[in-house]
Amino acid sequence: MEHLLSVRLKSKSVKNSIVNSIASDFNLTPILAEAYFNQIKGYFVEHTNLNLSSGQIHYLAIDDREPAGKPVALCKKRSVSLTLHNPDEDLDIYKKSGLKGLRQHRLLRITKEAIEQGALLSYEDIAFLLTTSIVTVKRDIAFMRRNGLTIPSRGWRHDMGRGSTHKSQILELYLKGFMFSDIEKKTHHSQTAVQRYIQDFSKIILLHLKEFSVDQIRISTGFSNRLIGEYIALYKKYSGEKNKRLMEIFNSDIANKKKNKKTLIQSNSRKVRALL
């Protein structure tokens, strides 16, 4: 009786109601309808589960893995939180540098925040967010670049043409021995973003060492052939020098795998002892 009551109550849940509606509206079996529900639920969690602070907004930007020149409509999007107003910083900047300085400060901040979350803002995105023109955005970015600042944007990646991607440029700085703080000053990429690039580099090279082809690595990781090729070229360039940073990356990766394997063995052992 209690089991029947539990089943009846479960059937009245919001999830079950939506699954039933999907099955009815699209003539699907309950299993397929639930699979669709779980997939759609994942999309909502990815794009709406952002904790915003005062002065921040939720914005949909293009994933930084997408190559320059690909139509925006076909690009994968990523939800990011961007800080449009931070009184602790912005008021001082406004007093010292006026509206122009404040706009450039905000431009630098939102592009940096976007790249840290795995996305790139286009000139159009920046102009819309800062309520200015694309011409002004391009002029501001050109001015900041002349002053040695790297502003990661879709337009910047496109302007690089057949040159190396910003990821491989930053990774090479790391392999040359630059500290995270120095890389941040040069490129305005935080330690978090640089560490993410290092992890991606590690994934690609480990597959390369297992004799995966570039196409197989692309299918496995989702990275572009161009980036994979650049990372492999970097590995070949610095592996011959017995690069200290390169050795640290892969020693750390091996150590983490051994730790995970040990944890799995211990977990399985506990389960076996519990059964005995």
7-44 tens-digit pLDDT: 444 445 678 888 888 888 889 898 888 888 888 877 77
> Smallest Cα–Cα separation from 132: which of 162, 167, 106, 111?
106
Does 143 lie in the same domain as 89?
A: yes
Q: Which of 161, 189, 218 is the last residue of a domain?
A: 161
Task: Give the list of residues 6+ apart from residue 84 with CB closer than 8 angstroms, or none.
Answer: 55, 56, 57, 106, 110, 129
Angle at 200 between CA 196 and CA 203, to 5 degrees: 140
Residue 262, CA distances (Å) to 175, 202, 256 in order = 30, 21, 10
Does 97 lie in the same domain as 116?
A: yes
Residue 181, CA distances (Å) to 78, 148, 188 in order = 27, 15, 10
Residue 7 covered by a domain:
no
Q: Is the pLDDT of residue 50 over 70?
A: no
Q: Which of 161, 183, 218 is the last residue of a domain?
A: 161
* DSSP string across 142-159: HHHHHTT-----HHHHHH
Evaluated on CA atoms 24, 27, 30, 34, the torsion sign reads: negative
Structure-token pair, residue 39: 């997939």
- Measure the CA–CA gap between 19 and 37, rounded to whole angstroms: 6
Rounded average pLDDT over 159-173:
70
Contact call for residues 187 and 200 (beta carbons, < 8 A): no
**pTM for the full predicted model:** 0.58
Does 95 lie in the same domain as 79?
A: yes
Residue 174 covered by a domain:
yes
Residue 44 covered by a domain:
no
- pLDDT, residue 53, reads 78
Q: Is the pLDDT of residue 175 over 60?
A: yes
- pLDDT, residue 206, reads 92
- pLDDT, residue 265, reads 46
List of long-range contacts for 32-38, beta carbons under 8 Å, 24+ apart: none
Rounded average pLDDT over 130-142:
93
Exposure pattern of 199-219 as b/e (b: 16+ CB <10 Å)?
Answer: ebbbbbbebbeeebebeebbe
140-161 pLDDT, tens per residue?
998 988 887 778 777 665 554 4
101-120 pLDDT, tens per residue?
999 999 999 998 998 888 88
> Smallest Cα–Cα separation from 201: which of 160, 241, 173, 161?
173
- pLDDT, residue 155, reads 64
Q: How confident is the model at residue 135 (pLDDT cuts 50, 70, 90)?
A: very high
- Measure the CA–CA gap between 53 and 194, rounded to whole angstroms: 24
Query: Rounded to a whole number, what is the distance in angstroms from the first to the last CA of the chain?
Result: 33
Q: Which of 161, 190, 216 is the last residue of a domain?
A: 161
> Smallest Cα–Cα separation from 113: which of 46, 171, 192?
192
Q: Lowest-confidence range among 132-141, 212-221, 247-256?
A: 247-256
Residue 29 covered by a domain:
no
Segment holding 59, helix H or strand E:
strand 56-63
Rounded average pLDDT over 219-228:
85
Does 157 lie in the same domain as 62?
A: yes
Q: Is the pLDDT of residue 269 over 70?
A: no
Phi, psi angles (nearest 5°) of residue 53: -100, 175
Q: How confident is the model at residue 48 (pLDDT cuts 50, 70, 90)?
A: low
Q: What is the residue range of 182's domain?
A: 164-268
- Measure the CA–CA gap between 60 and 198, rounded to whole angstroms: 25
Does 200 lie in the same domain as 128?
A: no
C-alpha neighbours within 13 Å on the C-beta side of residue 238: 22
Average pLDDT, the chain: 80
Count of structural domains within the chain: 2
Q: Percentage of residues in the chain with pLDDT exceeding 70? A: 79
- Measure the CA–CA gap between 233 and 18, rounded to whole angstroms: 50
